[in-house]
A and B are shown apart, each in its own frame.
Chain A
Amino acid sequence: MVSRRGFSRQAVSVLAVLSARPADWHHGYAIAKETGLKSGTLYPILIRLSDGGLIEARWEEEHPAGRPRRHLYQLTAKGAAAAAVALADLPRGSRVPPRVGLAILRQSRQVGP
């Protein structure tokens, strides 16, 4: 049973991006570009989501020479359920970045009646 959580608007936008492609592993900068969040805002959200078991984090296994391994994030099953609740609770007309709005729209179509 997923309970309603007090996610901030920024956290909801991160959940929306992750749940748009729940099977994929996402990079931090990619999430930042889609949500419009800066690193100082995004990573505390990712840390809280990880501590709460809503996302998984891992280092990429293969990476091109000359650059460091990147950290990857994916929603867990618990996170997917929490994201569905949080996105459904988002007030109508909330201002979110366009890509996030598309993700919310896709999400609502998946869980719609």
Chain B
Amino acid sequence: MAELLRRSTALLPADRRPWAEAVRAEAAEVPAGSRRLTWLAGGLLLTMRQAIVGDGLWYPLAFAAAAGGVAWAAWSGSPHDPAIVIDRVDVIAMAVILAGLSWAARRISGPVAGSRLARLARAGGYAAILALVLVKSAVERVADAPPNNLVGPAVAWTGEAVFLAVMGGYAAVILACTARRSPVVPGTAAIGTALGLTAGILAYALGPLGFPLRFAGVWPAGLYDAAMALGAALAACAPAAAGWVAARRAAPGSRVRQGAMAGLCAGTAAALAVTVLSTATIALLPYDAGLRGWAASHIGHWTSAAGQVTPIEGPRVGYVAGNSAFAAGYLIVLLLSPLAGSALAAARAWGTGRILPRMHQSPATPEEPT
């Protein structure tokens, strides 16, 4: 048992190993027999729990379980169906990319930061990426299946390659912003992410299927138009607010950089939120008659789009909302949102920096980590 405890110590993060060694060293004081065995067993239990719950095995195990679940859900179907082939390649490639980036990030920026927010943001970001892969595969099974697959395989595979590259970029941002040696001041990243999530959920609420909604009455239509205008303004304000907060919290020489990173967090969170939620809603269309009925009566561009395709019962709404040209719109959102967020926030931070005195705003303002 002592030997088992000694060997299992290697599973622990470096800062936890002395504790396992302490238990083992103390065992010499415990009377031999069942009491010493119980003492060592407690040490083994401690090691296992620390290895799983600490920086050791918890995240890899959770990721493996989640990736396995996505693969299982996306795998079924004929290998001769081009949509299924794309799904399978997507799942495998995404799992490899996410695992590889985690390994690289650990060596560059260290493990995840110690705060609960950082752990939550990292787990949530990875969960959102895997969820997007899952719901996207569900949509593509309908949208890319004959006779809906109007684009050729070359365009489809190019789109997938771009999608994988963009998701790799998102994972890199999530890892960098939540790492122990992150260049982002922790509270700033949290505020940017929270503002971005709010903007993303708002964008989804205003257009759950990616199209503007259509309302029959004057008042509902007018209210919706006003909500759209307000939503657009708030969406632009989210990264700007993140930049303002970042500038106030940062040291004078790093305000613009911290602002840009806060905006990057906001744009990333917003794009992921709206894309995952909308794609999930689209994926439900073939299976939910009530949702299809609601969509048919409220999608602003429904009539003209429906006229271009051969009517197909059931999956038709799913196809129109999820066809490759439409999906490219979400890809553009994923590409541009972090960049636009970063630029807006940096501009706001620059403006704020010119107004603020050239000193720290409070004794508690955190220095930028080196």
Contact = CB atoms under 8 A, between A and B. Distances in A.
A44 B52 CA distance: 14
B29 A27 contact: yes
B33 to A, nearest CB: 15
A31 to B, nearest CB: 10
- Which of B18, B24, B38, B50 is packed against the most chain A CB atoms within 10 Å? B18
Chain A interface, >50% SS class: helix
A78 interface: no
A70 B41 CA distance: 18
Nearest to A67: B28
A28 B38 contact: no
A25 interface: no
B29 A43 contact: no
Given A47-B19, A57-B18, A28 B26 contact: yes
B41 A40 contact: yes
A39 B19 contact: no
A71 interface: yes
Interface residues of A, number: 20
Given A40-B42, A43-B42, A68 B28 contact: yes
- Which of B24, B30, B42, B50 is packed against the most chain A CB atoms within 10 Å? B42
B217 to A, nearest CB: 54
B18 A71 contact: yes
A43 B28 contact: no
B22 interface: yes
- Which of B19, B21, B25, B43 is packed against the most chain A CB atoms within 10 Å? B25
A29 interface: yes
Contacts of A9: none
Contacts of A38: 38-39, 42
Interface of A: 27-29, 32, 38-44, 46-47, 57, 59, 67-71
Report the 10 A-B pairs with minimum CB-CB distance, sorted nearest first: A40-B42, A39-B42, A71-B22, A68-B25, A40-B45, A29-B29, A28-B26, A39-B39, A29-B26, A67-B28
